[in-house]
Structure 1
Amino acid sequence: MDLLISLGFQVNREKSIIEPTQVICHLGYIIDSIQFKVFLPDDKVEKILGKCQQVLSTHDVSIRLLASLIGCFTSSFKAIPLGPLYYRSLEADKLRGLAGSVDEYDGVVALSSDSIAEITWWQENLVMSNGKLIRQPNPDCILTTDSSLEGWGAVLGTREVNGLWSLQEATEHINYLELKAIQLSLHAFCKEWSSVQIMVQSDNTTAVAYINNMGGTVDKLNCLAKDIWLWCHGRDIFVSAKYLPGIENVQADALSRKFSVQTEWSLDPSIFQRTCLQFFLPDIDLFASRLNHKLDRFVSWGPDPMSENVDAFTITWEGLEPYLFPPFCLIPRVLRKVINDQVKRAIIIVPNWNSQHWFPMLLDLLVDTPARLPHWQDLITLPHNGRHHYLFRTLNLTACVISGQPSIIEAYQKRLPMWRSTHGDEELQRLITWRGRTGEFGVVNGKLILITRLRR
């Protein structure tokens, strides 16, 4: 102190703290070096809560009062971690009020429902949210993302993920798609994580800004950034973003442009609903993706932002009653899995290919009358572009209910009529070949299995 005075500085002793301290109130904040956090003082907390109550108590709010409340919110961001997520609707209402008022800040404005929700959040969360780290730890991992007009891709260490945009998503601005790619990548890689620091690298400066600023002025982008932050906060994940020049973003860029669509074929939603009404409602879709899943619970072939699990063959199907629409080359493997895991019942969509080696196995597992699906041009399509299946002219699909439990299969086969033929094995082969046209699907253990049309 004496040194400062001797050097010509004027020291305000009343406002100076002479003794070293680990907790100090400075510039309206409490800085705690023990917890390494910044807090709002109690008087500032009470001031904010009081203004919240004052604004909510009137229908038409003074623009000046609203601006004062927004100022209180923004000045507390250093101490309230999620504060930046809950003020932009209020800011939009303030600007709307100023644009329509001749009295400027002396005018009034009616708050939107979103603004009221933001004020309510501050009322309910201010006290328990008080306290923010002075500096975040170094990131535990780096997630690199990219987007094209076709799809998105991401890299996390040695892991990769990518996906296509839906027809609706593909119409969005590239800034939205870049931010959406960050969201989907986090969901795909980090849904089981908690208490980690993630650095996102993107070659889109807008996406980087919306992550680091917890939103922005464009409503659609702001809502998406808010969803990302709330999802991360619920898992105690802190996310930050860094700009990566496009010339260096090679791997994620390639993933956003190269796709395999053979696992994306999707059954028409109305046909799926009719199938469930005729048989039963499955509890999980075991061969699906973000774009073509028919049930809330689904398993994807590779990493997927919304899937419950990855690779249906790596999990047990015991206790499940699944919907199965696998790639046709996997049908025999699926049937064996149903048997091995003793599945009680499952709906499977198969082509009418009686010459395939798996067809007798399918007949052995049936526990209900198969239903022939209508021969529509758009019965199965690619969800990202609406393209029809390349075999649609000749492809006939059937919905079957199968089981891996012998007692259920035996009970069903006992109810079947006996098959009678006077022409030996040759007649049996002809019967199976013409099953769709005669209403006869096949023969198993001397019993005739009929086929019906899918009910409307």
Structure 2
Amino acid sequence: MTLIRRREMKNKLMALIQMTNQRQIVIIISLASLIGDINYLRFQFPQISLWMNSLNNLKTKAVAKGGQEALVKLNKQILGNLQTILILIKQNRPRQLKGRTPSTTLTTDTSEDSCGMTLDHSNEQILDAGQWEGSQHLHSSNQRELAAVLISLRNQQQTLTDWKTKCIPLKTDNTTTEFVIRKSKAASAILHLMREIFLLLNNFDITIYTEHLPGLENSTADALSRLSWIGDYQINPILLNEELHQINFQPTLDAFAHKTNKQLKSYCSPQEDNKVIVRNAPNIPWTNELLLLHPPIGLIPKIIQKMIRDQVEAVLILPRCNTRTIRSSSNQRKDNERTLKTTTRNHRDGKDKHKEGEQLYRELAELINLDSATIDQLIAGINPETWRKRRAGLTPLANYMKQNNINTSTLLGNKPYIELVNALAWYKDRGGPKLQQRMKNMKMHCGVVLSQFSHMNDINNSSLVKTYSKGQGLSIQSKPRFPTIWNLQILFNYINTQTPTTPEEIQQTAIAMIVAFCAARMTELVFMKQSEMIDDTHSISLKTQTSKGKQVIIHTITFEERSGICCPVKTLRKWIQQRNTDGNSEDQIQYNHTKHSPASSKYCSHQLAAIIRRAGITSPYTGPTVCHAMMTRLRAAWAHKPR
């Protein structure tokens, strides 16, 4: 780009940036003219189209609404596009037109759980594999394929610099990845990944070419992504049995398996499975088992440590290469020898930010004379999500004690809350994002653990911790959904004075009585069936169910007959009689009169809301607040566990 054109483009972009900051209104033609000038620069900057999405969206929407002569108000969403384009124009790097000789070939492939790559240079080859983390939010195969390219380039930066690589042919079996990198265009879902890839290549002055590689030919990277990490393949059972017979070892538990690749009837799995002995084998003691261990690569160091700690007898199956990089020369290939060199990507264990928290928990448990097997059982009994948060909450306390050379046994004395308050004050001085929430988590989980192991119970309720928490805003206060709750007697008075006439009103009264006398949820109402109803002389029993996770819990609710109109037994009998009169053959007790089908929980909620509206209960109170009103009334009568 010539100096004159560069100066003109800089002036136009800076003027538009200033107008955007002031939220000015411009003619669409002027905006389209600037977009045309930027498109003219694509020959020099092929990647510039990756930073034009907001500009094009603004122009397209404005034209669709008012035509080319319309006005458009500039919004700050286009500032990122404008500033990046301005940086590219200021740098004014010339495009390399002379073809560079490719010296290094990158091949990638991914699966739903992990990715793999190979990097070939002369007579050397680097193999690498990694596992996706939940924070990466990769929802499609195209996102995973592009993320694999980005991660491979990042992890091998030093290697590419040492090899003085200036041109990389990329081989992938994903057609979208090949197309978007070749054309420098991308959809919104993968745009951020494309930007990161081109910024990285631009910083290292590397040119990338793409080549579509059929899936059958992409065997090495595919094996790394699918096999080496997640362990979803199966060792040949015949060969395995021969090897076990030779060493005279009969394992009793397959510790890392799925239901499709298990080698033994007794097995542990990292996934939900009704037939497993337990999930997550590392969390249980291994002392009384003969183990068959074929763990994923990322768990190998932990598994070896646990084997030593538990002193178990086991067969440990390891891949020929683990998370290290393999470099092999042609002479070494002839001798079948391989040399290991550590990869630039950190091991997964090195990325564990909260291992100090777990170490502190184990040290506290050991100080009260708990052995390792008992500690493992304690941890296994904690909900995995709770244990993750507990490790995160204990880590700041562990770092505070390490920095100030405080012995762990200090926390087991009569006043452990002093160290907790000191640690909270130290943590606050460090600052950082979301500090308030992190301090709340630290106070809660450290207080729970110290109460569990120290001589003092309920540390978070000590006067010192409560005073400090109140001053720093760390107290967790429950906020009621409604400032006040309506009196249940209002509903009862309405039912006593008004006689339902239509089938819908009779059903609404029955629903209101059921919820008022047993606090049933709307989802429980739809499981009540007439075939399971037991109608005795002075009572009626109904069956319903709730679920907790995948566990279904069956409940039997019995209503006793009461004197007066407000009686669930009488209203239920009246509703059942009305159903029989109408010829309703549905087994489900609640019925949708509009659709002439079994009622849903939403329909029951609407019916309950209708009767309380007629009773005089106005918005924002809805049908389920009948439960709240009933519980409030029971608590006022000094009832315990009203549910």
- Give the TM-score normalised by the residue count of structure 1: 0.51
User: Aligned in 2, Cα 1:96/1:401: closer, same or farther, shift over 3 Å?
Assistant: closer
User: Aligned in 2, Cα 1:152/1:60: closer, same or farther, shift over 3 Å?
Assistant: same
The alpha-carbon deviation at position 155 of structure 1 amounts to 1.6
User: Aligned in 2, Cα 1:142/1:115: closer, same or farther, shift over 3 Å?
Assistant: same
User: Aligned in 2, Cα 1:234/1:454: closer, same or farther, shift over 3 Å?
Assistant: farther
Q: Are the counterparts in 2 of residues 188 and 303 from structure 1 also a CA contact under 8 Å?
A: no
> Which structure dedicates a bigger proportion of its chain to helix?
2
1:132 aligned counterpart, secondary structure: coil
CA separation in 2, counterparts of 1:109 and 1:416? Answer: 67
Q: Are the counterparts in 2 of residues 84 and 213 from structure 1 also a CA contact under 8 Å?
A: no
Asked if 1:212 corresponds to 2:178, the answer is no
CA separation in 1, counterparts of 2:455 and 2:160? Answer: 48
Pairs within 5 Å for 1:211-290: 211-216=181-186, 218-258=187-227, 259-260=229-230
Deviation readout 1:115-151 (Å, 9 max, x if unpaired): 2222233334413224221135122311111122333
CA separation in 2, counterparts of 1:125 and 1:440? Answer: 59
Q: Are the counterparts in 1 of residues 412 and 455 from structure 2 also a CA contact under 8 Å?
A: no
Q: Are the counterparts in 1 of residues 158 and 344 from structure 2 also a CA contact under 8 Å?
A: no
CA separation in 2, counterparts of 1:156 and 1:381? Answer: 38
CA separation in 2, counterparts of 1:85 and 1:138? Answer: 26
1:255 aligned counterpart, secondary structure: helix
Q: Are the counterparts in 1 of residues 46 and 184 from structure 2 also a CA contact under 8 Å?
A: no
Q: Are the counterparts in 2 of residues 302 and 311 from structure 1 also a CA contact under 8 Å?
A: no
Aligned to 1:421: none
Aligned to 1:30: none
Pairs within 5 Å for 1:25-424: 40-56=1-17, 58=19, 59-80=24-45, 82-101=47-66, 103=67, 105-157=68-120, 158-167=125-134, 172-190=139-157, 193-194=160-161, 196=165, 197-216=167-186, 218-258=187-227, 259-260=229-230, 302=323, 309-310=346-347, 323=355, 347=360, 349=362, 375-378=381-384
Q: Are the counterparts in 1 of residues 113 and 230 from structure 2 also a CA contact under 8 Å?
A: no
Aligned length: 295
Give the partner amino acid of 1:187: R
Q: Are the counterparts in 2 of residues 55 and 61 from structure 1 also a CA contact under 8 Å?
A: no
CA separation in 2, counterparts of 1:413 and 1:170? Answer: 41
Give the partner amino acid of 1:175: N
Deviation readout 1:264-323 (Å, 9 max, x if unpaired): x9xxxxxxxxxxxxxxxxxxxxx999xxxxxxxxxxx8369x98744989xxxxxxx994
CA separation in 2, counterparts of 1:109 and 1:192? Answer: 49
Q: Are the counterparts in 2 of residues 86 and 118 from structure 1 also a CA contact under 8 Å?
A: yes
2:116 aligned counterpart, secondary structure: strand
User: Aligned in 2, Cα 1:253/1:43: closer, same or farther, shift over 3 Å?
Assistant: same
CA separation in 2, counterparts of 1:198 and 1:236? Answer: 11
Give the partner amino acid of 2:382: W
The alpha-carbon deviation at position 198 of structure 1 amounts to 2.3
Aligned to 1:445: none
Segments of 4+ moved more than 6 angstroms: 350-357, 398-402, 411-417, 450-456
The alpha-carbon deviation at position 165 of structure 1 amounts to 3.2
CA separation in 1, counterparts of 2:398 and 2:8? Answer: 65
CA separation in 2, counterparts of 1:219 and 1:91? Answer: 12
User: Aligned in 2, Cα 1:174/1:229: closer, same or farther, shift over 3 Å?
Assistant: same
Q: Which structure ranks higher in relative contact order (CA pairs < 8 Å, sequence separation ≥ 6)?
A: 1
> Which structure dedicates a bigger proportion of its chain to strand?
1
CA separation in 2, counterparts of 1:381 and 1:144? Answer: 38
The alpha-carbon deviation at position 203 of structure 1 amounts to 0.9
CA separation in 1, counterparts of 2:131 and 2:379? Answer: 27
Please list every run of 5 or more consecutive structure 2 residues that lacks an aligned counterpart in the other structure: 232-255, 257-269, 271-297, 301-321, 326-342, 389-394, 414-450, 461-643
CA separation in 1, counterparts of 2:354 and 2:134? Answer: 27
- Give the TM-score normalised by the residue count of structure 2: 0.38
User: Aligned in 2, Cα 1:125/1:169: closer, same or farther, shift over 3 Å?
Assistant: closer
1:142 aligned counterpart, secondary structure: strand
Q: Are the counterparts in 2 of residues 153 and 256 from structure 1 also a CA contact under 8 Å?
A: yes
The alpha-carbon deviation at position 225 of structure 1 amounts to 0.4
Aligned to 2:247: none
